[in-house]
Chains A and B, each alone.
Chain A
Amino acid sequence: NAGVTQTPKFQVLKTGQSMTLQCAQDMNHEYMSWYRQDPGMGLRLIHYSVGAGITDQGEVPNGYNVSRSTTEDFPLRLLSAAPSQTSVYFCASSYGTDQETQYFGPGTRLLVL
């Protein structure tokens, strides 16, 4: 199993540009989520999904969109990038039952100029 994969590893954007961060898992996990990690802030939840076709907002959803058309994929879209979205983004997945361990991808480092 590849586990949780994320692409790209690193991206530079100009303010106002759009892009999609890809996340895929091959563990047949129902639950998937996106976090951002900023210095001194820990990991903060952006959006999450409890299954195909179901998404919900986390702690810091503004400026981001998600969709979940398949169990395997959970892309994160930035419609109009802002410098405040410069961060490291992590995707995670789990089976989706209570008290379940989440598995994280390697991260995407995003720089918005």
Chain B
Amino acid sequence: DQQVKQNSPSLSVQEGRISILNCDYTNSMFDYFLWYKKYPAEGPTFLISISSIKDKNEDGRFTVFLNKSAKHLSLHIVPSQPGDSAVYFCAATLPGTYKYIFGTGTRLKVLA
């Protein structure tokens, strides 16, 4: 029972264009969502997060959108750069817990 789903295993985008990574979840009780980036042979690093009381959070080139009615989360990267090529994981947490539920990841490749 996958509560957090990333249905696109991979995505290729031209440098300078927008990358949109998607994440769907099934549990309406999730109250905090995060995106992590992972390079090969390294641990995941935190990218951006959003609380369920918001619908958008922005940090430089990265914006996360939350649509609670659709139980859908997306990460926008504008403009995309070759250094953004990595695997991106979305994660969600329940109130009062410290446990993350991760999606399966999307491999982004930004073409120069």
Mark A residues whose CB is within 8 Å of B. Answer: 4, 31, 33, 35, 40-45, 48, 50, 58, 90, 92, 94, 96, 98-107
Contacts and interface: CB of A to CB of B under 8 A. Distances in A.
Question: How big is the B interface, by class?
Answer: 20 to 34
Looking at A94, A99, A104, A106, which has the most chain B CB atoms within 10 Å of its CB? A99
Contacts, number: 61
A113 B39 CA distance: 26
Contacts of A94: 98
B45 A48 contact: no
B98 A48 contact: yes
Contact of B42 (A35, A48, A99, A107): A107
Interface string B19-59: 00000000000011010100001111110010100000000
A106 B98 contact: no
B interface: dominant SS: loop
Interface string B88-102: 010101011011101
14 contacts: A35-B102, A41-B104, A43-B91, A45-B99, A48-B99, A50-B98, A92-B43, A94-B98, A98-B96, A100-B98, A103-B46, A104-B45, A106-B41, A107-B42
Given A106-B42, A107-B42, A101 B49 contact: yes
B104 A42 contact: yes
Given A42-B102, A42-B103, A42-B105, A106 B43 contact: yes
A101 B37 CA distance: 13
Contacts of B103: 42
A99 B46 contact: no
A40 B104 contact: yes
A96 B99 CA distance: 10
